């Protein structure tokens, strides 16, 4: 295996906190493959770049020769992780959990090495706990310690309901670490409490406590809020190359370096120095970031094409080579109906908002009237919505 100090350099890249570094050094010095655990709640399986921060750290461990376990919490997923919640979560049905877990499996191998990844489901051992097992597990932690958790304490002070089931979530997550004999558990900074509970639970079973490595929560394209599909500030790993490239180019110059740190293995020190000294335009550095990320999920060829299309559209004000085409069996269509039909807005109200923001154009001319009737021709017309969405519309 690689020397411990070299492994640590890779492991520490982008990490928020390691509890504790001396313990990690000791485990690495044993010279054996460590068991690296990361749990995923299968309630929202559409993976975006925010999720990949953790997955990429798992890949780092894989490349260092350690054993990575992608744990799907199909048992705990039915409870719902209370982290950051101001109220009790609705439980998922077993059928929902099963379908979401399948979706996860289809996506993670864009990042992880399939041949070196163990996928586990915690229902395998949690379903066998039974009443006595739950009693035994519950005896290993106190209510007082649970109420040290900020979200629980805030709800308690506000006299908002906290179910006993929610108290079981971190206990069962810790029990997963016992069963798996985890040496290291990875999680977002919002998971710190759960991960610490896991250390205590392992100790109570006479095991060496796992090292905790927390990874930052990635900000979305707005640079403010956590990347989230619900906030529409995300980049999905299954998005088309052009869409992915364009979205990444929209991040701020300062946020670009955080994306370099958390979403790539590129050593950007020299790049950043050149930008700060005015030797390199920030846009060129950002294009390198976008190209690196697109190449990871779609291949170098697609990344290069996305770069060329971006330059054609934004630098040369051209239309990309490959855009969707839509054919309508009518002579005209209302602009709101048109945007809705080509799915360039999530709702008709969003379509109206886009028009009001001058974000909609037809054949290069801004459309400002929400009641505009668009005539259709057999030759086709170019509809543009926002900065990156193009469609060619025809009449049959």
State pLDDT tens for residues 336-384.
999 999 999 989 999 999 999 888 988 878 899 999 999 888 778 889 8
Is 302 a member of any domain? yes
Same domain, 105 and 184: yes
The pLDDT assigned to 346 comes to 87
pLDDT tens per residue across span 129-185: 888 988 998 888 888 888 877 778 888 888 888 877 778 888 988 999 999 999 999
Same domain for 11 and 137?
A: yes
For residue 22, the enclosing domain spans: 4-215
Domain shared by 309 and 246, yes or no: yes
- Domain count of the chain? 3
Mean pLDDT of the chain: 88
Note the pLDDT tens digit of each residue in 97-125.
777 777 887 889 999 998 889 999 888 99
The pLDDT assigned to 82 comes to 52
Return left, alpha or beta for 363; rule: phi > 0 is left, psi -120 to 50 is alpha, else beta.
Answer: left
- Is residue 355 within 8 Å of residue 348, measured between CB atoms? no
pLDDT beyond 80 at 285: yes
In a domain, 233, yes or no: no
- Amino acid 228: pLDDT: 87
Q: Point out the domain boundary residue: 285, 315, 345.
A: 315
pLDDT at 275 (0 to 100):
93
Percentage of the chain exceeding pLDDT 70:
93
Residue 323 CB: number of other CB atoms within 10 A? 15
Residue 331 lies in a domain: yes
Does residue 203 sit within a domain? Answer: yes
| CATH number reported for the structural domain that contains residue 60 in this entry | 3.40.50.620
pLDDT at residue number 92: 67
- Let me know if residue 57 belongs to a domain: yes
Among 199, 215, 231, identify where a domain stops: 215
Predicted confidence (pLDDT) at residue 29 exceeds the cutoff of 80: yes
Range with lowest mean pLDDT among 46-50, 205-209, 315-319, 360-364: 315-319
Same-domain pairing of 194 and 169: yes
Task: Mark whether 72 and 121 lie in a shared domain.
Answer: yes
| pLDDT at 86 (0 to 100) | 44
Residue with the bigger pLDDT between 59 and 366: it is 59
- Asked if 174 and 31 sit in the same domain, the reply is yes
Asked if the structure places residue 353 within a domain, the reply is yes
Token output for 123: 């229902």
Give yes or no: residues 338 and 301 share one domain: no
Same domain, 296 and 329: no
The mean pLDDT value for 30-47 works out to 86
What is the sign of the dihedral through the CA atoms of 137, 186, 92 and 143? positive
> Does 332 lie in the same domain as 303?
no
In a domain, 229, yes or no: no
For residues 287 and 167, membership in a common domain is answered with no
Is pLDDT of 89 > 80?
Answer: no
- pLDDT-based confidence at residue 76 (cuts at 50, 70, 90): confident
Query: For the domain that residue 365 is a member of, what is the CATH number?
Result: 3.10.290.10
Comparing CA positions, the residue from 62, 68, 4 lying closest to residue 35 is 68
Peptide bond into 183 cis (omega under 30): no
In terms of domains, do 311 and 334 share one? no
Lowest pLDDT segment from 194-203, 234-243, 317-326: 317-326
Name the band, by pLDDT with cuts 50, 70 and 90, for residue 85: very low
207: left (phi over 0), alpha (psi -120 to 50) or beta: beta
Within-domain flag for 226: no
Are 129 and 169 contained in the same domain?
Answer: yes
Last residue of a domain, one of 315, 350, 366: 315
């Amino acid at each position: 295996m690689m020397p411990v100090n070299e492994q640590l350099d890779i492991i520490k890249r982008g990490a928020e906190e390691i509890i504790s570094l001396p313990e990690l050094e000791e485990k690495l010095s044993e010279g054996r493959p460590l068991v690296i655990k990361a749990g995923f709640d299968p309630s929202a399986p559409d993976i975006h770049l925010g999720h990949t921060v953790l997955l990429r750290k798992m890949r780092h461990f894989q490349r260092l020769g350690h054993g990575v376990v992608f744990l799907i919490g199909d048992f705990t997923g039915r409870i719902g992780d209370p982290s950051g919640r101001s109220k009790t979560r609705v439980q998922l049905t077993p059928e929902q959990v099963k379908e979401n877990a399948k979706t996860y499996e289809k996506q993670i191998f864009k990042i992880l090495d399939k041949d070196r990844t163990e996928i586990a489901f915690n229902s395998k051992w949690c379903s066998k706990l039974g009443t006595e097992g739950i009693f035994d597990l519950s005896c290993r932690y106190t209510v007082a310690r649970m109420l040290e958790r900020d979200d629980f304490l805030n709800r308690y002070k506000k006299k908002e309901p906290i179910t006993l089931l929610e108290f079981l979530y971190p206990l069962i997550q810790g029990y997963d670490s016992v069963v798996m004999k985890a040496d290291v558990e990875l999680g977002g900074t919002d998971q710190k409490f759960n991960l610490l509970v896991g250390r205590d639970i392992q100790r109570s079973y006479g095991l060496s406590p796992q090292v905790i490595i927390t990874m930052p929560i990635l900000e979305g394209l707005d640079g403010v809020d956590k990347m989230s599909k619900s906030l529409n500030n995300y980049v999905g790993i299954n998005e088309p190359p052009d869409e992915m490239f364009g979205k990444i180019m929209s991040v701020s110059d300062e946020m670009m370096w955080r994306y370099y740190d958390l979403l790539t293995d590129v050593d950007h020190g020299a790049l950043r120095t050149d930008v700060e000294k005015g030797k390199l335009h920030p846009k060129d550095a950002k294009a390198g970031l976008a190209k690196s990320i697109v190449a990871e999920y779609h291949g170098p060829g697609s990344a290069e094409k996305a770069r060329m299309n971006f330059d054609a559209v934004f630098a040369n004000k051209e239309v990309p080579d490959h855009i969707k085409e839509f054919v309508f069996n009518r002579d005209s269509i209302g602009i709101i109906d048109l945007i809705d039909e080509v799915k360039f807005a999530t709702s008709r109200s969003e379509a109206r908002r886009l028009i009001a923001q001058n974000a909609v154009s037809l054949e290069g001319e801004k459309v400002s009237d929400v009641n505009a009737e668009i005539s259709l021709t057999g030759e086709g017309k170019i509809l543009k919505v926002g900065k990156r969405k193009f469609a060619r519309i025809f009449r049959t």
